């Protein structure tokens, strides 16, 4: 194999490693969005009971997400993750975020329901849900399917099996491509080797003939000498 052949097979091996790496750790590379699945508040911090609370979620350094529908105590609000104000936040690695649930106030500082470290590792249930329950304040369920360790990334709650299958197909496709590239490299290498062998043989033959001719010359000279 020539240096170029070696080079191209090394490129395909690197490509293969990269693909395997990508398929094994989708969560490390892709970002994982967190949506609100359901919420119940047990308490509002309004002094005047008639005033409807303005509940919002915020991670430090990020935008506030106000929940426009959440107005009543002890009512479960369920969401599908596609609402205009979703998602709440996004993880791009394993790092936690300082997040909280608050109530906006017009005339005094905002009230805090709770504030805590929200981590990708919290989403360790197989359905990608994480329940944050505070006895007097609220029961929140977050959803982050891509945060679940060791499970294939999935965007839709209704079709995890389809996603899994698609991912399997994806890996099979990658393997097929890698095998095809390797086979191509081997064929090219073999052809190059044959060509090189042929060239070498021709070269050797030419050299042999040249030697032969040179030998004739010497013989001629010797013949001349003999005559002289």
Residue 131 binds to ligand NAG (criterion: CB under 6 A): yes
Residue 65 binds to ligand NAG (criterion: CB under 6 A): no
Distance CA 56, CA 85 (A): 11
Residue 17 binds to ligand NAG (criterion: CB under 6 A): no
With CB under 6 A, what is the number of residues at the site for ligand NAG?
7
Structure tokens at 92: 């791009």
Smaller CB distance to ligand NAG: residue 129 or 146? Answer: 129
Residues 6 or more apart in contact with residue 32 via CB below 8 angstroms: 90, 91, 92, 120, 144, 145, 146, 147, 153
Question: Is there a contact between 114 and 57 (Cβ–Cβ < 8 Å)?
Answer: no
Query: Which residue from 41, 24, 33, 15 is spatially nearest to 91, judged by alpha carbons?
Result: 33
Out of 38, 86, 124, 134, which residue is the one contacting ligand NAG (CB under 6 A)? 38
Out of 2, 14, 17, 63, which residue is the one contacting ligand NAG (CB under 6 A)? 63
Task: Work out the end-to-end distance of the chain between its first and last CA atoms, rounded to an integer number of angstroms.
Answer: 55
DSSP 173-210: HHHHHHHHHHHHHHHHHHHHHHHHHHHHHHHHHHHHHH
Q: How far is the CB of 84 from ligand NAG (least distance, A)?
A: 13
Smaller CB distance to ligand NAG: residue 144 or 185? Answer: 144
DSSP 72: S
Out of 16, 19, 26, 62, which residue is the one contacting ligand NAG (CB under 6 A)? 62
Query: Which residue from 76, 100, 96 is spatially nearest to 144, judged by alpha carbons?
Result: 96
| Only segment of 92-100, 118-126, 133-141, 179-187 that touches ligand NAG (CB under 6 A) | 133-141
Smaller CB distance to ligand NAG: residue 97 or 146? Answer: 97
| Only segment of 12-20, 131-139, 178-186, 198-206 that touches ligand NAG (CB under 6 A) | 131-139
Give contact residues for ligand NAG (rule: CB under 6 A).
Answer: 38, 62-63, 131, 133, 139, 141
């Amino acid at each position: 194999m020539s240096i170029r052949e070696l080079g191209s097979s090394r490129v395909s091996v690197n490509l293969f490693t990269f693909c395997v790496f990508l398929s094994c750790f989708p969560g490390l590379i892709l970002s994982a969005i967190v949506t609100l699945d359901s919420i119940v508040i047990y308490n509002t911090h309004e002094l005047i009971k008639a005033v409807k609370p303005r509940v919002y979620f915020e991670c430090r350094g990020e935008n506030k997400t106000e929940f426009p529908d959440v107005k009543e105590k002890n009512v479960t609000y369920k969401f599908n993750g596609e609402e205009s104000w979703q998602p709440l936040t996004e993880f791009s690695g394993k790092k936690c975020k300082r997040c909280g649930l608050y109530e906006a106030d017009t005339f005094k500082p905002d009230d805090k329901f709770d504030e805590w470290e929200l981590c990708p590792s919290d989403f360790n249930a197989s359905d990608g849900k994480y329940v944050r329950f505070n006895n007097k304040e609220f029961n929140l369920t977050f959803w982050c399917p891509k945060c679940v360790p060791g499970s294939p990334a999935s965007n839709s709650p209704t079709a995890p099996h389809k996603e899994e299958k698609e991912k399997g197909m994806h890996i099979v496709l990658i393997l097929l491509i890698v095998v095809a590239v390797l086979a191509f490299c081997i064929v090219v290498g073999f052809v190059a080797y044959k060509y090189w062998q042929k060239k070498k043989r021709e070269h050797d033959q030419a050299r042999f003939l040249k030697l032969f001719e040179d030998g004739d010359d010497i013989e001629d000279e010797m013949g001349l000498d003999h005559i002289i």
